Amino acid sequence: MKIEEDIKLDYGDVLIRPKRTTLTSRSDVNLERTIKFPLSKQTWTGIPIIAANMDTIGTYSVYKVLSKFKIITAFHKFYDVENYKNMKKEGLNPDYFMVSTGISDHNFEKLKNIIEAIDVKFICIDIANGYMEKLVAFCKKVREHFPDKIIVAGNVVTREITEELILQGRVDIVKVGIGPGSACLTRTQTGIGMPQLSAINECADAAHGVNGYIIGDGGITCPGDVSKGLGAGADFIMIGGRFSGHDENPGDIVEENGNKYKFFYGMSSETAMNKHFGKMENYRSSEGRTVKIKYKGPLENTVNDYLGGIRSTCTYINAGEIKNIPKCCTFVRVNRQLNTIYS
């Protein structure tokens, strides 16, 4: 029996240690950063947060809000060429959206058609199990056909496959996270995963050593978690559930006992399988949950709350720019981080 004895940490296991700062206001903090990608030779500038490519999150309505903040929306993979053409008519800035794809031959043909129809900068090759050999081969094929695109691939949680995706698959960014999402049941159903803070730390170290980047995908419960993920080495943070429940998310508002709700579900859930494929095959189980989220109003309010929290983190650790959070960040292990008496 093989056991790794060192303790792996999640966001709730740590706090960030404050330190002397020369910053006097949150307004002094620059949340934009510029990243140069060696493989695609592309440069990107914006706030390094990404809306998850889930069909209740990665939508054009969400993009319209987030792009104003220079935040990226990863569109869900069920948009077709006609959908993208319609979006193009309304306005699409390639700096602030990703086209998502699976790894089948059909997916590849669809991706080619989309890229012929619209201007695309980011391609997100997205499968739940990033440890399949086929993923690396598919990434190589996409790089050969689209050498100038910024290619994202995942999901993984360990050093070796992060390096392989960058060195062999020729991807620019590796997406990190298995099981931390609020609508994810992978850990329950399979026993697979890695606490997100440690996964980010390990994969970021591996990626940065071979001139790549990572996205910390999942596990965000509050603005402080975004700061912790960035502090652990993530170049981008992907958010799903915390961007749900708003006016811009699809679905009707449901009223129960005087409260308003909207529904949010994982892309491996039975809800998603039934919606997009007509059924859930009997050889698989649901690895996502369907969640009733309290209605939150405009998405812009949540975005401002999160950006304000990150700016405040920066003022506590003397990070004048978001890119400086990792080098200004020291974590402390905690047994409890919140007083929950009134929660």
CATH number for 158:
3.20.20.70
At 1-59, the pLDDT tens digits run 999 999 999 999 999 999 999 999 999 999 999 999 999 999 999 999 999 999 899 99
Domain extent, residue 179, equals 29-333
Given a contact cutoff of 8 angstroms between Cβ atoms, the answer to whether 139 and 125 are in contact is: yes
Name the domain count of the chain: 1
66: left (phi over 0), alpha (psi -120 to 50) or beta: alpha
Catalytic residue among 124, 139, 184, 328: 184
Cis bond leading into 86, ω under 30°?
A: no
Q: Is 184 an annotated catalytic residue?
A: yes
Angle 152-155-160 from CA coordinates, rounded to 5° = 95
Q: Evaluate whether residue 8 is within a structural domain.
A: no
> 280 by DSSP, 3-state: which?
coil
Q: What pLDDT is attached to residue 274?
A: 58
pLDDT grade for 343, boundaries at 50, 70 and 90: confident
Q: What Rg value do the Cα atoms of the chain yield, rounded?
A: 19
At 79-125, the pLDDT tens digits run 999 999 999 999 999 999 999 999 999 999 999 999 999 999 999 99
Q: Evaluate whether residue 3 is within a structural domain.
A: no
Q: What pLDDT is attached to residue 282?
A: 58
What is the rounded average pLDDT of the residues 262-269? 66
Q: What pLDDT is attached to residue 185?
A: 80
Q: How far, in Å, CA of 187 to CA of 240, rounded?
A: 17
**Percent above pLDDT 90 for the chain:** 81
Q: Evaluate whether residue 4 is within a structural domain.
A: no
Given a contact cutoff of 8 angstroms between Cβ atoms, the answer to whether 68 and 61 are in contact is: no
Main-chain phi, psi angles of 22, to 5 degrees: -95, -5
Q: Evaluate whether residue 57 is within a structural domain.
A: yes
pLDDT grade for 74, boundaries at 50, 70 and 90: very high
Average pLDDT, the chain: 92
Given a contact cutoff of 8 angstroms between Cβ atoms, the answer to whether 327 and 2 are in contact is: no
Read off the amino acid at residue 75: F
User: Among the residues of the chain, which ranges form H helices?
Assistant: 60-66, 81-90, 105-117, 133-145, 159-167, 186-190, 196-209, 223-231, 270-277, 299-317, 325-328
